[in-house]
């Protein structure tokens, strides 16, 4: 997290936080600060999104300094836009302090550069879980060569994602990877292909939070992996 974000956490009266925040961030808060958990996992939401939006407005109108703490960048599949829309509608002043989005952080810690002159001139971020629960995306665009595609929240739909990419032109041996608990001491990296990824995820018991990275940049992982989460 940035120094500014750390300062705001230390100054907050209330922290509304997600389950994907960096480890030990809440330790920065003042002992008297109220901490409200509003995390979301697949089919398990501590608070529905609409209730979170209303909660933020209520706390702010009570005159409290409120920090909405998210992991990564709140404007990249973090629902930050939805939340500040509600604040703006109610005349609540706010500021956004972006963090490092998961794709960049996980790719860096896994040894998978998202762009590379020999492999990928385009990087695309996509969600593997739409608001209606489907995975209805522009598959022809996502299956173009010489690009990297990063799927957020795609573990549950990995089989469909791989099938659609192959049906729209990518070969079964196209490289793919999963990064679970990226940038933390629990990080796991699994490399495979579009044809084997879904089975490997099931066999390895990979669960969210995890990102799927598709592209030939994945072939660099074995040589570029520098982070050893289990090292003493």
What positions carry a catalytic annotation? 18, 40
Q: Determine if the peptide bond prior to 199 is cis (ω within 30°).
A: no
Q: What are phi and psi of 126, to 5 degrees?
A: -135, 155
Q: What is the DSSP string of 114-149?
A: S-BTTTBSEEEEEESS-TTS-----HHHHT-SSEEE
Scanning the chain, the segments in alpha helix (DSSP H) are: 3-11, 49-61, 80-89, 102-110, 139-142, 158-167, 197-204, 221-224
Cβ 196 vs Cβ 224: under 8 Å = no
DSSP at 47: S
Which has the closest alpha carbon to 96: 104, 88, 108? 88
């Amino acid at each position: 997290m940035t120094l500014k974000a750390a300062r705001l956490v230390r100054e907050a009266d209330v922290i509304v936080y997600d389950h994907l925040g960096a480890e030990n961030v809440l330790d920065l808060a003042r002992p008297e600060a109220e901490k409200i958990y509003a995390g979301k996992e697949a089919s398990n939401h501590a608070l529905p999104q609409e209730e979170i939006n209303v909660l933020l407005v209520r706390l702010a109108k009570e005159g409290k300094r409120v920090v909405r703490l998210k992991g990564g960048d709140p404007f990249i599949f973090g629902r930050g836009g939805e939340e500040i829309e509600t604040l703006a509608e109610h005349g609540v002043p706010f500021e956004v302090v972006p963090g490092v989005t998961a794709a960049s952080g996980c790719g860096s810690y896994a040894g998978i550069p998202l762009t590379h002159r020999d492999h990928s001139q385009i990087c695309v971020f996509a969600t593997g879980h739409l608001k209606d629960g489907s995975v209805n995306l522009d598959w022809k665009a996502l299956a173009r060569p010489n690009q990297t595609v990063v799927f957020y929240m795609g573990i549950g739909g990995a089989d469909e994602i791989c099938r659609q990419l192959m049906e729209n032109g990518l070969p079964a041996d196209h490289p793919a990877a999963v990064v679970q608990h990226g940038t933390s001491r629990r990080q796991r990296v699994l490399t495979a292909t579009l044809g084997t990824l879904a089975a490997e995820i099931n066999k390895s018991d990979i669960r969210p939070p995890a990102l799927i990275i598709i592209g030939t940049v994945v072939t660099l992982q074995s040589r570029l992996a520098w982070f050893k989460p289990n090292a003493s």
